[in-house]
Structure 1
């Protein structure tokens, strides 16, 4: 190993190592690894910069023009980010992000100081360090899956992957971005020495397949293909040399794929498919060929990206504020979310568009210019090289940068410290290429003026580290409190901490935690737990006033008013949240209870329809709807069709199976139209359900002509389907065909389908519009006796 490090100063390698181990920094009790790791980098920046100041030779140089340009762009980025704060909803969030930008800039600077000295920097030595870290990461992943090789490949299995990145997508990106350095090591070594890097490459590729993220797989494929082509070209199109290098890589890649699909088998009698690696399901849905994806189309990256573009249009010059995209209105995303709680994407999943949305066109162009300058410098440097060693390392750096750029297009690596460290290495090395000095003279002292400036910068860096510590410290408290909130019900289970304790524990800065919960939201929930409802409502009002687009405090207000039995207030807030995010279960169930209490069956079943469009996996709601169909519509056949529809996507759900079994038994003993409905063939029931669903959709869209066609198709299959008769009556009334509406309502009334007074009231409206006041009066009177709300509002003078 001594020969590998002879070209470099050992202290430089210590600095490199200290930055590299960022990915091994644990959360230390923080809500997220990011807070701890950014604090570590900020502190390390101060220590390393002070070392440079106190050690002769490090800072006694002039910046080359490209380095000046690069750091000039970084300073402008910092300034634009600060200016964007004028548009921020949450200033705290912007300060945290600006602090991380400042940290990243000086991280690049500190590493540039190391890499600008070409005679104390070994390409192979550095690549070996990166590869060692990479092997450890990938070995952890492969070992995890190997020790659980008999477990099914499910979402739950993947959620248990050990890492320090926040989620597996980021882990996979961090691994694949470092892969080019290992390929460089493999290419540089000869003979039997290649066995070790080949083993490492096996683990890296296997880990990427096992993690199963498509972006990382795409980057891996591009890296391997470009590396192979580059080797073939640089080796002067030597087929023999290329075969010896590329063929082992291909064999190892195939072995890694074979290993990945042969463990965690979904079916005992066959290995997993390539698709199974990248498309996993929850264990309960594992053997369901359709699954919930057939029932709902969730908001994917495309919707999030469109939302970011809309935000850019709001403030095209300086954006909506650094770090504040997630606090702007997400109405276009929320309406289609499938989460049962108010949870939104905190990132755009595209760093380019996030820069555009948050810092405007100026920040976006500055962001792009970093990559442009980097590639310009790589091309300039590559053209000046004469040895294959230098050329391959340039290609290695280019591949790593391309990998980062691709990941930045689909994810948010800017937020993850370990990936930013890799990018800082890449950029610092590229800047080092532009240095004309072949060696740093260790005897040179910096001027007193430079020292004063340097210590001033070090003081600012120290203040920045303090700010990062505040973020980390708050994150620890947030994590402690959020564990309580996530595992216990604020309204029914006792929290470990009292409201007074939480007020004392919780720092004011930053105001919003990593998942978007405000300090006032947290205080409100602990106040609710202590039955201090008035205090809780004040905190929720404060939260709404600061983050007006957040639906979570409104959800809590609805739940609080519901507990206090203030129906009108509970209804107002529940409906506001439900209209914005119809997937939220708490508001759905509150509204359901209120509509049932008010006997508003039309609103009730519209509620079900809207909820199931975005959250069809709510089994409890399916069962409630089926029971409500039986109670209000007295239509067991329709209830059975709804159960069958749910079972198509959740065929192994025990509650649905049990409900269907009991319903079939009941239907087998019932006479009349219920018996007819139970004898309908399943395919007929399914067809009828589809027509009814389509008709309702057209009805809600006020396309009554198309709705009538679909409703009539239902009656062709089941002439006595009373819900359809009723909806047709309402339809004809709406388009003023009052005479045609009367027979439909009469059918519903005679068969005693609804006993809440609404059919009589609706038929009364038809008679009234036809100037048949006598029959209208009779129907209105019956409806009034049944306490239908609209009939109760009629003037007594009308009946006289």
Structure 2
């Protein structure tokens, strides 16, 4: 991070990127190091960060503050006849040294409490230097006009500061409510709850995601394409480095039924940030719809160079099959290789099951998945049941039938399918045991349900212990 900050400063020696903008300008330096939409907010050296933001002249002014304070302290220590004054000056100087080391290795300028302490340090040294020997000097009283001028200047300065900080607070509150939906393929909140939720400033979230871009997703969902495009273009100006505007363009054109344009922007999105899992999965999904297996291969080979992780392999296997509309021996070899690398990963286990499934089974499962997402649980269960004869040894189909009945509150009907799934050795995630426990308790078979929660705990399923404590332990 220090190297990148130095490089930027040398390329922009006189006019930096502007106060607070280093986290934007640092993005191009980190594309091959940062995952997802992560950005290095600071370079962990306030002196270097200030040089990137306000140039070398600003850096020299900042350094001069420490030089002047050091000079003041030395003058006090050398000339003061008052031991108490000298002691206070020395303690203040030690605090200044501590702050300087923090600024060399961290970013105290971003921490309000530390900045408050720093302001006190400066004030102590300044006051001790100028007024420490006040008894030896005759201080002239400050005129009323000077006091009034200072008060007016202070008020004029503090009002816009309060306004900007209040806007930042309102924006932070809105981000806390709305931004969790960024991980959803389609946002869920109503448009009228989000369109006026943000003030005009700031235009970026703390993680540099353009706020207008985040809002455009709601207009795309509502098919208000003109407004969505306007917001996407504005978001590109706000942050041209993250690739989020290209990501939104992918969604925009996919929603309009223009797969070629969607694929074009999906490529631009991913290859701008090749470590981003969301961008990788977005490209592979769009490429599979266009049956572009070459792009899928290229994206996978690029991604695993940076992050050789199970979700990347699982996504590649699944959409490789979908793009070719067939299962070839190479895909099965890939699935076997993935199992050797990630033997206990549930996504890889499912991907291998898909690779060895008949194509008819895959099509039924695909339709079942779509129906489940649309909350048509009866149709989803019917499609999973149709897939079972083609692949009777795949526990996931039985588990998914059980989940469909569970989602429909048909608890008694779900139990046999969870039982069948649990009977397979490959069913080790604890998911079937957990949901079987819920169904058994709702069916009035509490002891059996509690035993099922115990099994889910042994298989390390999240929430199993919580449900066991809430339903099986007497209070």
The normalised TM-score by structure 1 is 0.40
Residue 491 of structure 1 contacts residue 529 of structure 1 at CA under 8 Å; is this kept in 2? no
Q: State the match for 2:122 in structure 1.
A: 427
Paired with 1:635 and 1:345, the residues of 2 have a C-alpha distance of 37
Superposed CA offset, 1:45-94 (max 9, x none): xxxxxxxxxxxxxxxxxxxxxxxxxxxxxxxxxxxxxxxxxxxxxxxxxx
Superposed CA offset, 1:442-465 (max 9, x none): 996422xxx334433322322332
2:188 to 484, 489, 494: 494
Q: State the match for 2:35 in structure 1.
A: 338
The reply to whether residue 524 of structure 1 matches residue 216 of structure 2 is: yes
Superposed CA offset, 1:550-593 (max 9, x none): 42222222222223332122122221121111133333223213
Shift in Å, 1:395: 4.5
The reply to whether residue 417 of structure 1 matches residue 109 of structure 2 is: no
Paired with 2:48 and 2:190, the residues of 1 have a C-alpha distance of 42
Shift in Å, 1:519: 4.2
The reply to whether residue 403 of structure 1 matches residue 94 of structure 2 is: no
Distance 1:625 1:470, change over 3 A: same
Paired with 2:216 and 2:23, the residues of 1 have a C-alpha distance of 22
Q: State the match for 1:313 in structure 2.
A: 10
Q: State the match for 2:172 in structure 1.
A: 479
Paired with 1:319 and 1:371, the residues of 2 have a C-alpha distance of 21
SS in 1 for 2:116: helix
Shift in Å, 1:368: 0.9
Shift in Å, 1:362: 0.7
Residue 533 of structure 1 contacts residue 560 of structure 1 at CA under 8 Å; is this kept in 2? yes
Superposed CA offset, 1:412-444 (max 9, x none): 211222110111111111222312553479996
Distance 1:637 1:425, change over 3 A: same
Shift in Å, 1:624: 2.6
Residue 216 of structure 2 contacts residue 229 of structure 2 at CA under 8 Å; is this kept in 1? yes
Residue 225 of structure 2 contacts residue 252 of structure 2 at CA under 8 Å; is this kept in 1? yes
Shift in Å, 1:622: 1.9
Paired with 1:348 and 1:533, the residues of 2 have a C-alpha distance of 39
The reply to whether residue 359 of structure 1 matches residue 54 of structure 2 is: yes
User: What are structure 1's unaligned runs of at least 5 residues?
Assistant: 1-303, 667-800
**Higher RCO by CA contacts (8 Å cutoff, separation 6 or greater):** 1
Superposed CA offset, 1:511-531 (max 9, x none): 334332334224323323433
Shift in Å, 1:627: 4.7
Residue 47 of structure 2 contacts residue 59 of structure 2 at CA under 8 Å; is this kept in 1? yes
Paired with 2:356 and 2:241, the residues of 1 have a C-alpha distance of 49
Superposed CA offset, 1:285-322 (max 9, x none): xxxxxxxxxxxxxxxxxxx3233223223321232222
Superposed CA offset, 1:348-395 (max 9, x none): 322111111111111111111111222222333334468886666545
Paired with 1:337 and 1:308, the residues of 2 have a C-alpha distance of 16
Paired with 1:624 and 1:332, the residues of 2 have a C-alpha distance of 28
Q: State the match for 1:575 in structure 2.
A: 267
Matches within 5 A, 1:296-307: 304-307=1-4
Residue 592 of structure 1 contacts residue 604 of structure 1 at CA under 8 Å; is this kept in 2? yes
SS in 1 for 2:251: helix
Shift in Å, 1:510: 3.3
2:198 to 506, 510, 523: 506
Paired with 1:508 and 1:527, the residues of 2 have a C-alpha distance of 18
Distance 1:475 1:522, change over 3 A: farther
Superposed CA offset, 1:598-644 (max 9, x none): 54434322211222333444x33221334567834535344322332
Superposed CA offset, 1:246-300 (max 9, x none): xxxxxxxxxxxxxxxxxxxxxxxxxxxxxxxxxxxxxxxxxxxxxxxxxxxxxxx
Q: How many pairs were matched up?
A: 350
The reply to whether residue 376 of structure 1 matches residue 68 of structure 2 is: no
Distance 1:442 1:511, change over 3 A: farther
Residue 216 of structure 2 contacts residue 231 of structure 2 at CA under 8 Å; is this kept in 1? yes
Q: What is the root-mean-square deviation in Å for CA atoms of aligned residues? A: 3.4
When structure 1 is superposed on structure 2, of 422-431 and 523-532 the one drifting more is: 523-532
When structure 1 is superposed on structure 2, of 315-324 and 629-638 the one drifting more is: 629-638
Distance 1:372 1:665, change over 3 A: same
Paired with 1:473 and 1:391, the residues of 2 have a C-alpha distance of 41
Paired with 1:645 and 1:405, the residues of 2 have a C-alpha distance of 47
SS in 2 for 1:634: helix
Residue 284 of structure 2 contacts residue 299 of structure 2 at CA under 8 Å; is this kept in 1? yes
Q: State the match for 2:232 in structure 1.
A: 540
Distance 1:627 1:531, change over 3 A: closer
Shift in Å, 1:538: 1.3
User: What are structure 2's unaligned runs of at least 5 residues?
Assistant: 322-326, 358-475
Matches within 5 A, 1:762-777: none
Distance 1:558 1:599, change over 3 A: closer
Q: State the match for 2:244 in structure 1.
A: 552
Matches within 5 A, 1:155-174: none
Residue 335 of structure 1 contacts residue 579 of structure 1 at CA under 8 Å; is this kept in 2? no
Residue 583 of structure 1 contacts residue 615 of structure 1 at CA under 8 Å; is this kept in 2? yes
Paired with 2:10 and 2:240, the residues of 1 have a C-alpha distance of 20
Residue 187 of structure 2 contacts residue 218 of structure 2 at CA under 8 Å; is this kept in 1? no
Shift in Å, 1:481: 2.6
The normalised TM-score by structure 2 is 0.64
Q: State the match for 2:337 in structure 1.
A: 641
Q: State the match for 1:467 in structure 2.
A: 160
Distance 1:310 1:379, change over 3 A: same
Matches within 5 A, 1:440-455: 445-447=141-143, 451-455=144-148
Shift in Å, 1:398: 3.1
Distance 1:565 1:444, change over 3 A: same
Paired with 2:269 and 2:287, the residues of 1 have a C-alpha distance of 16
